[in-house]
Structure 1
């Protein structure tokens, strides 16, 4: 018994390391982006795709792999995902162009999409009652802490070695995780189900996600309604005057609608579906997913803007940027531990609401503080408050979403809630990235026009600054003839980052409102039975 208990908690360590691997990669790259732009000459659109391709593929395949984990084995899918992720990291580290790096990030997203729902399913299937609250707290602490420690690690590797090591570090970590998981993590699966995978449903979810994010990112490039720049692929050119962006949005809406209709029709026939629509009859699952998606939209979008602003406007190095973001890590990790310790004494949804409220306060403070001359000391308290909010909200919101889900459906449920979060993250990066670059484009163009800069020169400066994500500001500053343009560019990028922060605070506020529909007693014991409701379900399942 003692040996089994020890093995279970050792397994949680390696499960948390696996989560660390995929979470840290989504933040470690943020700090490395300016160096990647310099080395690979990546455009601002490629910068968004370097971030977005990983998150988008991650979100698109979570449902698929959540089902596959239940069907074919959660540990098996975890091991496969970590292996694919490590191989993709090698390819990313060796990339010689922006497009090759984007392709490697897509492969990383596939591996990551295997890992996350598998870890949640293993925790949901392994731990019960109060142990589950502690396990989710550890899992959430890992996400909160590694999300913020990623920039520090990335900054150190980029400054001391190369941005390529921001990907290379994943390989030894992946080997450790694979070996540890094989030794101490038991296999589990849903033995009651043998139905076929819903391939059409999987295709529709991927199509809906890809076209939605494509439209959000590429709108400023190809035009939001009429064609601004032509979409080309080899010798083929987009043939319509109507931009491909509204077409992409229409396809996304149509695909999502067909997915729902198709899924309901298959469920009515008793066939398998990518999404178990019966899960949405559980109030905590339905309302928690809505809240999680909106909160993630506000949480992770701002992480794209801050490192670009800190390095290309304020002139920090990658390592200095990572150090400046460290208060976020400290606040997040400490708050996650607090949430775990009090998760059985205070309603989980109360902790979630307090956390989101602190996130709003921290991000709004950043919005008011950001300028081209902001001293770093003013940023530390705002980042710390924001970190505390992330730590309080992350793990507890996950627990709220999954608490009433039957164990045999844990893989599909965890895949669904992870998908909701990742779709929110993808939308956040797309929307807030578009806010950043669009604001910088418009404001820099207006400033140069007011300074009577000739139209041709003005267009060249705006294109160079925006397409380099602000990296060109340094060159403008070094040339006496363009120093005034450099100051205008710093102001424009600062305002873009400021507005991104305010948008993030707005989305977080909507997320806070969404939590009002959650049950305030979600973490309490069932008083009529006198036992934890998880244990009731477990007993029924075992019998």
Structure 2
């Protein structure tokens, strides 16, 4: 094991930087889309696919990515994910046409889908006890900071250099992580007697990809949804029948884990929808450039970082579930405060102040949600559990943005649309709060036994 009682060693930085890289790449596109469209002469429909192609494969291959680490060995699969993601990033940066950038974003998404769950599973392999809890807390913190920092970095890179630089940066980082992994990272041996669930793999990829397309696609969305429901229904049936399922159904036998999945789904839906619509609002209402828009998210990023530093102390004192409830309340308040204060108050009052409250809440919530999402799992299903956590994360993002945009697409003027969007996001965050209350009740019941 790489971890000991005193020090994390180099394994944790390798895991966290690799995870940070894919999260950063996911949100950096938000502030780069206008430049990408101009450089490659993309219409709005084609431009939408620059994000959707990545989301499609990232979401569709998550369970597969988590489970193959269980079967073939996490270190080997992690190296494969780094290679795919780095090559995909290079090719996206070199893209000269719409079809090329869309295809390479899809390829990059496969690498991310393998990396994301494998990073968490590797962490579970390498640390035990209190070290594991602290490492998972750092992992959850990375999930939040990577997303919000991507907004800032995306605006800076796009304005100062080129949107391509954001993708090119992944290449040397990916190569460095690959080399360091070869020398320093160990993982549990693969289960040589276990075969990959081929039927479950096919049905999960088909069902999840179709579900993503039914949310983010442009044509035949209803047909995609029907295919998704049928494939996922067959998938659940198959997983209960096969010997070595890609998603063991016993993952969902724990009420605490289930509540954590639901709370994470709605929280991520609210958070990413907030980032997405606020990016546009800053440019439409105040005429911010991509650079200023990116910098405008610093009031989220900085408090989030300092809030995350308090997670370990607060979770020990309050418990994970109680901390999640408090954090979601702060996030909900942060989103709704812009509506309460009014857009005519200017950026510092209407945006920056609510962002600070939102940032503290986000800094506090993702670490304990991650801990609860993999609670009470053994090494045999650690990869599958990690896959579910990251699948929930990815689908929460897609569903949150799509629901908010769909419900407000016909509203004018823009300020009316934005206020309505914030109210919907507040409601989504409220659903996360309800799931957090269920998690708290489950935790209290377990402690009372």
Answer yes or no: same fold by TM over 0.5: yes
Conserved? CA contact 1:339–1:392, under 8 Å: yes
Contact 2:270 2:426 in 1 (8 A): yes
Q: How far does residue 523 in structure 1 lie from its aligned partner after superposition?
A: 10
Corresponding position of 2:203: 204
Superposed CA deviations along residues 24-51 of structure 1, whole A, max 9, x for unmatched, are 1111111112222222333333343322
- 348, 365, 368: which is aligned to 1:377? 348
* Separation (CA, whole Å) in 1 of partners of 2:423 and 2:97: 33
Cα deviations across residues 41-79 of structure 1 (Å, max 9, x unaligned)? 333333433223222321211111111111111122222
Distance 2:139 2:9 in 1: 12
Distance in 1 of aligned mates of 2:23 and 2:215: 23
1:260 aligns with 2:231: no
Which residue pairs with 1:518 in the alignment?
439
Residue 115 and residue 433 in structure 1: after superposition, are their counterparts in 2 closer, same or farther (change >3 A)? same
Alignment of structure 1 residues 312-461 onto 2, 5 Å: 312-368=284-340, 371=343, 375-378=346-349, 379-435=351-407, 438-439=409-410, 443=412
Q: Distance in 1 between matches of 2:356 and 2:327?
A: 12
In the TM superposition, what are the counterparts of 1:67-82 in structure 2 within 5 Å? 67-82=67-82
Deviation at 1:334, TM superposition (A): 1.2
Per-residue CA deviation, residues 135-183 of structure 1 (Å, 9 max, x unaligned), is 1121122222222111221111111111111211111211222222222
Q: Which position in structure 1 is the counterpart of 2:149?
A: 149
Query: Partner of 1:169 in structure 2?
Result: 169
The one-character-per-residue Cα deviations of 1:497-527 (angstroms, maximum 9, x if unpaired) are 3333222221111111112221458599989
CA positional deviation for 1:433:
3.5
- Is 1:130 aligned to 2:101, yes or no? no
Residue in 1 aligned with 2:59? 59
Work out whether residues 56 and 422 of structure 1, in 8 Å CA contact, stay in contact via their aligned partners in 2: no
Range moving further from structure 2, 337-346 or 161-170: 337-346
Paired position in structure 2 for 1:50: 50
- Separation of aligned partners in 2, 1:154 and 1:510: 30
SS of residue paired to 1:186: coil
Distance 1:310 1:47 in 2: 20
Q: Distance in 1 between matches of 2:430 and 2:49?
A: 27
From the CA coordinates, give the structure whose radius of gyration is larger: 1
Q: CA deviation at 1:321?
A: 1.0
Secondary structure of 1:42's aligned partner: coil
CA contact (8 A) 2:66 2:118 kept: yes
Q: 1:83 to 1:425 in 2, by over 3 A?
A: same
Q: Does 2:420 correspond to 1:499? A: yes
**Aligned counterparts of 2:356 and 2:254: Cα–Cα separation in 1:** 35
Task: Say if 2:4 and 2:131, in contact at 8 Å, map to a contact too.
Answer: no
Shift of 1:260: 1.2
Question: Counterparts of 1:429 and 1:102 in 2: how far apart (Å)?
Answer: 20
Q: 3-state DSSP class of the match of 1:412?
A: helix
Mapped to 2, the partners of 1:398 and 1:405 lie a distance apart of 13
Give the secondary structure class of the aligned counterpart of 1:404.
Answer: coil
Report the Cα distance in structure 1 between the residues aligned to 2:339 and 2:89, rounded to whole angstroms: 34
Which secondary structure state, in structure 2, belongs to the residue aligned with residue 164 of structure 1? helix
CA–CA separation in structure 2 for the residues paired with 1:173 and 1:352: 33
* Number of residue pairs matched by the alignment: 448
* C-alpha distance in 2 between matches for 1:396 and 1:110: 27
The equivalent of 1:85 in structure 2 is: 85
8 A Cα contact 1:343 1:523, kept in partner? no
What is the DSSP-based 3-state SS (H/G/I as helix, E as strand, rest coil) of the residue aligned with 2:318?
A: coil
Distance (whole Å) between structure 2 residues aligned to residue 365 and residue 308 of structure 1? 18
CA contact (8 A) 1:201 1:274 kept: yes
Structure 1: how far apart are the matches of 2:146 and 2:86? 18
TM-score by length of 2: 0.92
Does the Cα contact within 8 Å between 1:352 and 1:393 map onto a contact in 2?
yes
Alignment root-mean-square deviation, CA: 2.6
2:23 is matched with which residue?
Answer: 23
Q: 1:353 to 1:409 in 2, by over 3 A?
A: same
TM-score, structure 1 as length reference: 0.77
Corresponding residue to 1:301 among 258, 265, 273: 273
Runs of 5+ unmatched residues, structure 1: 223-243, 444-490, 529-543
Taking a change above 3 Å as real, the CA distance of residues 53 and 185 of structure 1, as seen in their structure-2 partners, is same
Residues of 1 paired with 2:386 and 2:257: CA distance?
10
Q: What's 1:292 paired with?
A: 264
